[in-house]
Structure 1
Amino acid sequence: MRLSIETMTYGPNGLAHTDEGKAVFVSGGLIGDTVEARITENGPSFSRATVEEVIEPSPMREHSPCPFAGICGGCPWGGLAYDAQLEAKEENLRSALMRIGKFSADEVSALMRPIRHAKEPWGYRNKIELAPIRENGKFRLGLHGRDPNQIIKVDTCPLFSKKHAKAIKAVTGALGFLGNSRDLELERVGIRSSRRTGALEVALWTPTGAFPRAQVSRVLGDAVRATSVVRVMSKGEKRARRVAGVEALAGEGSWTEKIGEENMRLSAPSFFQVNTKAAEILIDLVMEALDPQPNELGIDLYCGAGTFTLPLARRCDFVSAVESYGPAVRDLRRNLDIANLTNVDVIGGDAVREFPDEDADVLVVDPPRAGLAPEAIDLIASTSARDVAYVSCDLATLARDLRRFVEEGTFRPVWATPVDLFPQTFHCETVVRLTRA
Structure 2
Amino acid sequence: MHCGYFDRGVCRSCTRMGTPYGIQLEAKLANARTLLAAWPDAEWLSPMASRPDAFRNKAKMVVGGTPDAPTLGILDAAQHGVDLTGCGILTPGLRFAFYPIKSFITLARIAPYDVPTRRGELKHVLLTESAAGELMLRFVLRSTEALSRVQKHLPSLLTALPQLAVVTANLLPEHKAVLEGAEEIRLSGNETLEMRLGDRVLHLRPASFFQTNTEIAKGLYLQARDWIDQAGAKSILDLYCGVGGFALHVAAPGRRVHGIELSAPAVESARLSATEAGLTDVTFSVGDATAFVAAEVPDAIIVNPPRRGLGDKLCQTLESSAAGTIIYSSCNAATLAKDLGAMPAYGPTVFRLFDMFPQTDHYEVMVLLQRRQATRPKNT
One-letter amino acid matched to 1:81: P
Greater strand fraction, Structure 1 or Structure 2: 1
Give the superposed CA RMSD.
2.9
Check the 8 A contact 1:217/1:229 in 2, yes or no: no
1:413 alignment counterpart: 348
The counterpart of 2:128, out of the listed 181, 192, 198, is: 192
One-letter amino acid matched to 1:310: L
How has the CA–CA distance of structure 1 residues 84 and 150 changed in structure 2, closer, same or farther, with 3 Å as cutoff?
A: farther
1:204 and 2:135 are equivalent in the alignment: no
CA shift for structure 1 position 301: 0.2
Identity of aligned residues (%): 27
Check the 8 A contact 1:352/1:375 in 2, yes or no: yes
Q: Distance in 1 between matches of 2:352 and 2:91?
A: 26
1:121 alignment counterpart: 52
The counterpart of 2:241, out of the listed 296, 303, 309, is: 303
Between 374-383 and 85-94, the greater mean CA deviation after superposition: 374-383
| SS of equivalent residue, structure 2 residue 362 | coil
Check the 8 A contact 2:168/2:188 in 1, yes or no: yes
Pairing 1:65-144 to 2, within 5 Å after superposition: 65-68=3-6, 71-98=10-37, 103=38, 107-108=39-40, 110-118=42-50, 120-134=51-65, 140-144=70-74
Check the 8 A contact 2:70/2:106 in 1, yes or no: yes
CA shift for structure 1 position 330: 1.7
1:365 and 2:300 are equivalent in the alignment: no
Gaps of 5+ in 1: 1-62
How has the CA–CA distance of structure 1 residues 153 and 388 changed in structure 2, closer, same or farther, with 3 Å as cutoff?
A: same
CA shift for structure 1 position 246: 2.8
Name the structure, 1 or 2, with higher relative contact order (CA <8 Å, separation 6+).
2
2:116 alignment counterpart: none
Pairing 1:51-62 to 2, within 5 Å after superposition: none
Check the 8 A contact 1:292/1:362 in 2, yes or no: no
| SS of equivalent residue, structure 2 residue 347 | strand
| SS of equivalent residue, structure 2 residue 210 | coil
Q: Give the TM-score taking structure 2 as reference length.
A: 0.85
How has the CA–CA distance of structure 1 residues 168 and 422 changed in structure 2, closer, same or farther, with 3 Å as cutoff?
A: same
1:434 alignment counterpart: 369
| SS of equivalent residue, structure 2 residue 182 | strand
Gaps of 5+ in 2: 114-118, 373-380
Check the 8 A contact 2:64/2:82 in 1, yes or no: no
1:217 alignment counterpart: 154
How has the CA–CA distance of structure 1 residues 116 and 158 changed in structure 2, closer, same or farther, with 3 Å as cutoff?
A: same
How has the CA–CA distance of structure 1 residues 370 and 171 changed in structure 2, closer, same or farther, with 3 Å as cutoff?
A: same
1:173 and 2:173 are equivalent in the alignment: no
| SS of equivalent residue, structure 2 residue 251 | helix
CA shift for structure 1 position 307: 0.6
CA shift for structure 1 position 201: 1.7
